[in-house]
């Protein structure tokens, strides 16, 4: 016996049925020594069911008394007529697997897994363990019930503090919102002013037509588009006939009024997509996207007739001459303008108050003009 129980500890036997077969028994044995001499053993038998009250006090329905192999020895709802399997009380396989690991590998431990809190305590001198299997929700509920008065007090104090904080924060946000609205309004006014300045920088001060700066920006983009997509693009250059004599006879103020009225009539008779530009003095340019030379010539003729039939203050009637050209592939801006300007030159020298169309090749046109000269 000394060889097999050298530590002289008390042991509990594995559960066994009593002589009547009505329940499980456990025997607690302890060796008796005189010095180093083993005299014998003393033991006591007790029913395993008696442990149910002890287990209930530990943790109620959530506590179990288990062997290291996972056999349930005691549970407060279980009549211990036989050892039952852990699967009957712990249905979750993940929790059950972790519980068996704790029984074999740990002495005292606590882990949380798959919504459960597992608490394990290994008993001394016996291969048994006390475990508590509680859901996180149940544990939280239990803590809440026990400490509800304290929690309520904290919440009431926190609510009061929060209410004061919210009022303070609300005042701050109102001030910030007011500042934001003011900043946005100021920004809108500034943006509007910038837009107006940009328009002023790109328009003719006298007539309100676009100026050369804007025209140069637009024609570059339109030529790129026309070249890439093989779409027509035409140009009209027009000039008031004998405008110098109007200025000489009626004065520059009347001449300016004629330019303003002319611009107004032209704007009313072209499309929004057409770009009317004051080129200089009494000369204007109209860029017409998506327009063939025939369509541009028809437009030029309509404008000529409209101006001829309009009445201008003091001077009564005026006439205009127009040159028309269609953009040619691989042509640059300079040649495009030269062809339209050469057509205007022909209209002027052919009697004025008429429309002339530039041929497709600049060289051919220049040669024809030189012969007429």
pLDDT tens per residue, range 321-335? 999 999 998 899 999
Q: What's the whole-number mean pLDDT along residues 226-235?
A: 94
Q: What's the whole-number mean pLDDT along residues 136-147?
A: 67
CB of 354 within 8 A of CB of 304? Answer: yes
Q: What's the whole-number mean pLDDT along residues 212-239?
A: 94
Distance of CA 177 to the CA centre of its chain: 23
42 or 271: which leads in pLDDT: 271
Predicted local distance difference test score (pLDDT) of residue 358: 94
- Residues whose CB is less than 8 angstroms from the CB of residue 242 and which lie 6 or more positions away in sequence, other chains included: 352
Please provide the DSSP assignment of 74-141 as one string. Answer: E-TT---SS-EEGGGT---HHHHHHHHHHHHH-SEEEEEETTEEEEEEEPTTSSEEEEEEEEHHHHHH
Q: 155: which 2 tokens?
A: 């919440």
Length of the chain: 373
Predicted local distance difference test score (pLDDT) of residue 250: 93
Predicted local distance difference test score (pLDDT) of residue 364: 61
Could you tell me which of 94, 59, 96 has the C-alpha nearest to residue 74?
Answer: 59
Confidence of residue 320 (pLDDT cuts 50, 70, 90): very high
| pTM (predicted TM-score) | 0.50
Between CA 293 and CA 325 the distance in angstroms is: 6
Confidence of residue 32 (pLDDT cuts 50, 70, 90): confident
Confidence of residue 1 (pLDDT cuts 50, 70, 90): very low
Predicted local distance difference test score (pLDDT) of residue 2: 42
Does an H or E element contain 64, and which? strand 63-67
Predicted local distance difference test score (pLDDT) of residue 317: 92
- Residues whose CB is less than 8 angstroms from the CB of residue 47 and which lie 6 or more positions away in sequence, other chains included: 18, 23, 24, 25, 26, 80
Predicted local distance difference test score (pLDDT) of residue 329: 87
Between CA 118 and CA 113 the distance in angstroms is: 8
Confidence of residue 293 (pLDDT cuts 50, 70, 90): very high
Predicted local distance difference test score (pLDDT) of residue 92: 82
Q: Per residue in 155-202, pLDDT tens?
A: 676 666 666 666 777 777 677 677 778 777 777 776 776 666 666 679
Sheet holding 63-67, edge to edge: 84-85, 71-74, 63-67, 128-135, 116-122, 108-113
Q: What's the whole-number mean pLDDT along residues 297-325?
A: 95
In terms of C-beta density within 10 A (0-12 exposed, 13-18 middle, 19 or more buried), how is residue 327 classed? buried
Q: What's the whole-number mean pLDDT along residues 23-33?
A: 76
End-to-end Cα spacing for the chain: 143
Q: Tokens 């036989």 — which residue?
A: 82
Residue 225 dihedral angles phi and psi, to the nearest 5°:
-65, -45
Q: What's the whole-number mean pLDDT along residues 71-95?
A: 69
Given a cut of 70, is residue 124 above it in pLDDT?
A: no
Please provide the DSSP assignment of 211-233 as one string. Answer: -HHHHHHHHHHHHHHHHHHT--E
- Residues whose CB is less than 8 angstroms from the CB of residue 349 and which lie 6 or more positions away in sequence, other chains included: 372
Between CA 125 and CA 329 the distance in angstroms is: 103
Sign of the torsion angle spanned by Cα atoms 94, 95, 99, 100: negative
Number of alpha helices (DSSP H) and beta strands (DSSP E) in the chain: 10, 15
Residue 306 dihedral angles phi and psi, to the nearest 5°:
-65, -45
State how beta strands 320-326 and 283-289 pair: unpaired
């Amino acid at each position: 016996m000394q060889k097999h129980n050298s530590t002289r500890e008390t042991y509990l036997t594995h559960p066994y049925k009593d002589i009547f077969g009505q329940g499980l028994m456990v025997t607690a044995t302890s060796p008796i020594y005189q010095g180093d001499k083993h005299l014998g053993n003393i033991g006591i038998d007790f029913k395993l069911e008696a442990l149910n009250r002890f287990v209930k006090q530990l943790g109620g329905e959530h506590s179990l008394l288990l062997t290291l192999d996972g056999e349930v020895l005691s549970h407060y709802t279980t009549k211990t007529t036989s050892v039952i399997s852990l699967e009957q009380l712990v249905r979750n396989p993940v929790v059950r697997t972790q519980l068996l690991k704790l029984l074999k590998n740990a002495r005292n431990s606590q882990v949380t897994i798959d919504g459960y809190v597992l608490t394990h305590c290994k008993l001394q001198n016996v291969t048994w363990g006390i475990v508590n299997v509680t859901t996180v929700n149940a544990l939280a509920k239990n803590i809440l019930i026990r400490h509800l008065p304290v929690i309520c007090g904290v919440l009431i104090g926190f609510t009061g503090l929060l209410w004061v904080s919210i009022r303070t924060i609300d005042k701050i946000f109102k001030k910030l919102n007011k500042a934001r609205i003011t900043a946005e309004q100021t920004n809108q006014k500034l943006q509007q002013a910038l837009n107006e300045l940009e328009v002023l920088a790109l328009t003719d001060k006298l007539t309100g037509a676009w100026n050369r700066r804007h025209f140069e920006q637009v024609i570059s983009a339109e030529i790129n588009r026309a070249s890439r997509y093989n779409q027509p693009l035409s140009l009209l250059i027009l000039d008031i006939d004998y405008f110098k004599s109007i200025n000489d006879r009626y004065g520059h103020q009347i001449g300016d009024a004629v330019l303003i009225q002319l611009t107004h009539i032209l704007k009313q008779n072209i499309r929004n997509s057409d770009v009317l530009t004051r080129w200089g003095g009494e000369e204007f340019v109209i860029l017409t996207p998506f327009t063939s030379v025939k369509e541009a010539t028809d437009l030029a003729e309509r404008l000529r007739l409209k101006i001829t039939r309009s009445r201008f203050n003091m001077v009564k009637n005026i006439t205009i001459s127009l040159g028309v050209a269609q953009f040619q592939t691989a042509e640059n801006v300079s040649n495009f303008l030269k062809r339209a300007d050469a057509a205007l030159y022909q209209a002027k020298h052919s009697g004025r108050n008429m429309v002339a169309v530039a041929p497709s090749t600049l060289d051919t046109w220049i040669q024809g003009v030189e012969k007429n000269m």
